[in-house]
Structure 1
Amino acid sequence: MDFFKYIHAVGTGPKGNRDLSFQESKDMMQQILDQSVPSEQIAAFLLGWRLKPETTEEFRGALSACDAYTKKENFPDSIELGYPFDGKAKNPYIFPLVAKALENTDLKLVIMGDDKQPAKDGITIKDICQNIDLHQNIQYFDRKKYCNKLHQLTDIRNKLGLRSGFNTIEKLPKVANSQYAITGVFHKPYVKKYVEIFADRYESFALIQGNEGTPELFSKGRIWIMKSNNIEEIIVAPQYYGIHYKKSWEQISLADSLEQLNNPSDEYLKLAKLNAAVYLFIAQKYKTIEDAFDALS
């Protein structure tokens, strides 16, 4: 279809806008990934799509197009961690320490990274992975290799400078065919939408009210997990496990982030163990988070 019809569908205002069908959204995303239309039209669509806003069916169609361009591998017994590609700005990452906490289990971590995307000016997964030795039970995938067409849109997205539908669909590409997945979510109203987009791609799928939108729990928060076609909500408080880590509210540098990973405090190591227990629970290795946490002690 003529791409301008898609711009018209999302960019004519509340009275003229309409939702795209699954096939239309898939075709739209294929044209964007191929960059067969001018960058100005791509930016115009992404802005209009965000403001319309996007529907679950549109997200699923766009994700289907991305799947067709994604080189996938099989990494058994793994949980895919859906991080935002705009990074973390105020706190260090914890996944390298989580991997160490899981070293005597059969659960592996899958993470994905790329150059920084809008809108937060944070430290990215790629920044960390390029500057630290990863534990053997972490599999890092660079998007330049597994989905180069999406990587090639980085310049257009950064020039636009705003969040777009990509920020949602890029989190969980299922690049390693993982059985389990968890990603971060800011607001409870988005839980149902994320479940509708991603849940049927995994044996077990969960969302977490994580630090800076990541699948990392730093303070008291909620976990939503799919069980028997129902969304179960669980509140997790680190204090319950004797953990008193204080998250930062200040900007953090890459050097500071790496320092906290290379020389972690006792509280940070305990927090890593709690996150490891959460992942084991989501991967159905234990019946409760408490059981998993005790097993890691």
Structure 2
Amino acid sequence: MTQDHPFAQYVRILGKGPKMWRDMTFDEARAAMNMVFSGEVEPLQLGAFLLLLRRKGETGEELAGMVAAARDHFLEKDITANVDFDWPSYADRHRQQPWFILSAILLADQGYKVLMHGIEGYVAGYAATRPGLAVFGIPQADSLSGAAALFGETNLVYLGLEKFCPSLQTLFELRPLLGVRTAVNTFGRDLNPFAAPRQLQGVFHPPYKALHLETVKALHQPHSLIFKGGGGEVQRNPMKPALVDALIDGEVTELEWPAMTEENVYKWREEDLAPAQLLRMWQGKLDLKMPLLAIIGTLAFALKSAVPTLKISEAESRARDIWDSRDKNRFG
């Protein structure tokens, strides 16, 4: 090969010397990732690109460009649905149950249409989102158009990433080869396939809050709540105060939520990972204080996003009332 590969320009931007490298623009990141999704990049280049990005540290503008590229490669184009909340679930390795599923059900019961989307990454010894959803009969769509149709019948739908953007799903599968998470694990959460006006984001590491905030701002997301979530999911940790980075009508603000309890230890058991435990919790057959508070606290976040004028205490009180008034026999 006597000429540089077309993708080499993007590796060069990131990989020049200490005083020569720079961040990519939105358009450059989009173009680079479009080449990746189109299979126009050599494996060696892809590994170098992703690891250089990680070593440098991604910017919100770069991640937004990658989101745009992923949307360019959705299997179906111009599929719309009137969805109120976008709920990404991309950690999928839970050392405790994905109690947030119960929060999402309760939110949907209030009349809000909620799209939950994510990857399947079941690992022995962990709980996962999809089996938990199946316990409640939450429909799992086979495509974007299928999800849009389901919203005519129900308010909560799950859509696997492999069903609407398999080229991105393939990049998630590189982690065992590279040994580290990459930008893929970050921008995948920001896809918002139906452009829902409200988005909830739970991150594993607090420094990523600011990065996601930059990303959703660049994508012109009007409402977003971003916080450190249990296991990196949209799940409130009730034992700690929560500093939530928020977009409300496009304006940046920070919300300070106090801890919901003075206790600071939650002991889980291996048997607690069985999906049936979620159903038992709904039915009132489990008495677990921390998961209960996590369910209520997560729902309160969503209610606050839906009605920004609610005080934090009002959102939590309303969430508790919704939980207490649920139909325990609904999923019998």
| Contact 1:25 1:62 (C-alpha < 8 Å) held by counterparts | yes
1:152 matched to 2:156? The reply is no
| Contact 1:79 1:107 (C-alpha < 8 Å) held by counterparts | yes
Aligned residue in 1 for 2:182? 164
Once the two structures are superposed, what CA deviation does each residue of 1:77-130 show, in whole Å capped at 9, x if it has no partner? 5211233x3423312101221134335412233211223399xx9544345445
* Helix, strand or coil at the partner of 1:207: strand
Task: Tell me the distance in 2 between the aligned counterparts of 1:235 and 1:293.
Answer: 10
Aligned residue in 1 for 2:54? 50
User: What are the residue-to-residue correspondences of 1:1-297 with 2, within 5 Å?
Assistant: 2-70=6-74, 71=76, 73-83=79-89, 85-116=90-121, 123-129=127-133, 133-134=137-138, 136-199=154-217, 200-219=219-238, 220=240, 221-227=242-248, 229-239=251-261, 247-248=266-267, 256-264=273-281, 265-266=286-287, 267=289, 268-284=291-307, 287-296=310-319, 297=321
Q: 1:75 Cα deviation (Å)?
A: 3.9
Q: 1:47 Cα deviation (Å)?
A: 0.8
| Contact 1:80 1:111 (C-alpha < 8 Å) held by counterparts | yes
Unaligned runs of 5+ in 1: none
| Contact 2:117 2:159 (C-alpha < 8 Å) held by counterparts | yes
Amino acid at match of 2:258: V
Amino acid at match of 1:5: Q
Give the greater-gyration-radius structure (CA): 2
Amino acid at match of 2:70: C
The percentage of aligned residue pairs carrying the same residue is 22
| Contact 1:99 1:108 (C-alpha < 8 Å) held by counterparts | no
Task: Tell me the distance in 2 between the aligned counterparts of 1:270 and 1:58.
Answer: 36
Task: Tell me the distance in 1 between the aligned counterparts of 2:260 and 2:53.
Answer: 38
| Contact 2:93 2:121 (C-alpha < 8 Å) held by counterparts | no
Amino acid at match of 2:227: I
Task: Tell me the distance in 2 between the aligned counterparts of 1:44 and 1:81.
Answer: 31
Unaligned runs of 5+ in 2: 140-153, 322-332
| Contact 2:172 2:185 (C-alpha < 8 Å) held by counterparts | no
Task: Tell me the distance in 2 between the aligned counterparts of 1:77 and 1:23.
Answer: 28
**Pairwise CA RMSD:** 3.0
| Contact 1:185 1:208 (C-alpha < 8 Å) held by counterparts | yes
Task: Tell me the distance in 2 between the aligned counterparts of 1:127 and 1:160.
Answer: 28
| Contact 1:281 1:287 (C-alpha < 8 Å) held by counterparts | yes
Task: Tell me the distance in 2 between the aligned counterparts of 1:108 and 1:289.
Answer: 22
Task: Tell me the distance in 1 between the aligned counterparts of 2:45 and 2:258.
Answer: 44
Q: 1:270 Cα deviation (Å)?
A: 4.5
Distance 1:122 1:49, change over 3 A: farther
Distance 1:38 1:157, change over 3 A: farther
Q: How many residues align?
A: 289
